[in-house]
Structure 1
């Protein structure tokens, strides 16, 4: 059983790859506990979700879903990238396996690619290590060294980025050129109370929906001077991504609508630039569209 709001490539694997191996995947609205309760049965072997979804930033109640899964003996697998290891201890809330793309906040400077799967020693040795040994998944020593060095500063970086993300969210919350601003750490977020309870802070990513559709959105993106356009996140540089034409471009339009991925939606990964400079860049770019 998986939350419907996922990264585009994850959706593809769940919808098209796993069924080839006899795995049946049921999708639910990750924010609706009753849908989880109905979908999780005695046949369920695992549940999978992003603790904060990409790019609509829906927040999943890790403990509540984990409790439901564990009642039938299912594993709980959580993609915790947006929540970051700085703010979220998913294992303490019931997750069995936690996934991080270390390309994002762990590296933090867009230099290299990697990922980690975290869990109990017994579970990792039983389920993860044998698979990796026989399929060849292995991080190079140099990449591992860079990741370990980056961990020395991850707390400082992520907390600074989060402070700027909140400042930007407050600056853009009522902007006339935006249909909506989505940030888990802002009081306007529908699950703000859960965010405060589960993470304490809202993280480094926010999304905005630019009025005027794709044409106006592209004008906005092209007018940005400090922020770069890329598909990455968690970098020291602030990054803007247009999900409808990049990370989720292959999804049918109806599915994009369900997931809140409109032509005007822009995912913003906030970096380490000066707050005032960054906010000014967004204001001038929005004025241009």
Structure 2
């Protein structure tokens, strides 16, 4: 079997390409002709199946070592499809620092359909066990949280789930299959906002789900086909193309991140750095055991400077939400990604007004450090 980097480039051909083109074609047709009225056809209507989308879905399933992949029009559409496999009266234990859009979907949409949720710190195995009820069906969490970079052990959650006959659902957007493969660690379903690292260029919105078993695959396919939040052929091709350079981009981003962490550790105006690659932290120990590397997102609190002035003075780092693309981004969680929370709620979440999150790109690390240094100095 081919190794990971080879699979990034080549994927699994759908055997529909008769031209010899080295890239799979983009099939825009919405419908497919039957050879005759009694034919058993592979594709009939594009919502139910499309060769371009199928190539991407098969490729990501292979990267995650799963049974089947599913491509959706956004990360939120992917999460919606996963939660739609549950029934009224079911209960799901969720991480207490999941993505805000996910939290909103769970609490403002799925609760209306009588699905219950209990939020806990999934790093605390005892808290997870205590939250389990007779009607609990799954545990949903992010191995690395945003924006505080807390790390949860997939193995530990999977062990609890197996003891209680529960599904483990992991949103692995931050790490990608290159840095962690949750299904190999005991998870049942893995989700990606492919908008981020898999696409890698801030030019396409997409979501991916990979299932571990055929039983789950059948359920997800029903949801994908019935609800219809599919990824278009054009966008499927963009994600496929982005995946080809995933490891090349991440290798540069990881190296840049390491250099930036070293720079920040030397600054007196940096109060605290949140990054699992820092040796001696509990996050580091868990991530080291379950991940290939520590990701290219970090956050830090500034002190004795004006945080607004700092981010406004950045030149190379663009002030924007999202992450995972070739360009470096900076954001203030309290003002941007988590602005809907009150000051009290932000404090409860551990998000300081002085917290800055960086998503590191592939620029020259020295230039990024110069940019951070001049902005910090300008904010004094």
**TM-score scaled to structure 2, two decimals?**
0.73
Aligned counterpart, 2:195: 103
Change (3 A) 1:123 1:242: farther
Q: Tell me the CA shift for residue 188 of structure 1.
A: 4.8
Q: Which of the residues 141, 144, 168 maps onto 1:76?
A: 168
Q: Tell me the CA shift for residue 178 of structure 1.
A: 1.7
- Which deviations, in whole Å up to 9, do the C-alpha atoms of 1:242-289 show, x marking residues without a partner? 111222111233332122211111110000010111111111111111
Q: Which of the residues 357, 371, 374 maps onto 1:267?
A: 357
SS at match of 1:45: strand
Change (3 A) 1:246 1:123: farther
Q: Tell me the CA shift for residue 123 of structure 1.
A: 3.8
Aligned counterpart, 2:275: 183
CA contact (8 A) 1:107 1:150 kept: yes
Structure 1 segments, 4+ long, off by >6 Å, are none
Instruction: Determine whether 1:88 maps to 2:176.
Output: no
Unaligned runs of 5+ in 1: none
**Structure of greater Rg:** 2
Q: Tell me the CA shift for residue 38 of structure 1.
A: 1.2
Q: d(CA) in 2 for partners of 1:169 and 1:268? A: 11
Q: Which of the residues 314, 331, 336 maps onto 1:241?
A: 331
Q: Tell me the CA shift for residue 124 of structure 1.
A: 4.3
Aligned counterpart, 2:340: 250
CA contact (8 A) 2:310 2:378 kept: yes
- Which deviations, in whole Å up to 9, do the C-alpha atoms of 1:7-42 show, x marking residues without a partner? 111121222222111111111112111101211233
Aligned counterpart, 2:77: none
Q: Tell me the CA shift for residue 184 of structure 1.
A: 1.0
SS at match of 2:282: coil
Aligned counterpart, 2:371: 281
Unaligned runs of 5+ in 2: 1-92
| Root mean square deviation, CA, Å | 1.4
Instruction: Determine whether 1:232 maps to 2:322.
Output: yes
Aligned counterpart, 1:223: 313
CA contact (8 A) 2:155 2:185 kept: yes
Change (3 A) 1:280 1:123: farther
Aligned counterpart, 2:243: 151
Change (3 A) 1:126 1:205: same
Aligned counterpart, 1:7: 99
Q: d(CA) in 2 for partners of 1:255 and 1:187? A: 30
May I ask how many residue pairs the two structures share in their alignment? 287
Q: Tell me the CA shift for residue 78 of structure 1.
A: 0.4
Aligned counterpart, 1:139: 231
**TM-score scaled to structure 1, two decimals?**
0.95
Q: How does 1:56-67 map to 2 (within 5 A)?
A: 56-67=148-159
SS at match of 1:243: coil
Q: d(CA) in 2 for partners of 1:169 and 1:158? A: 16
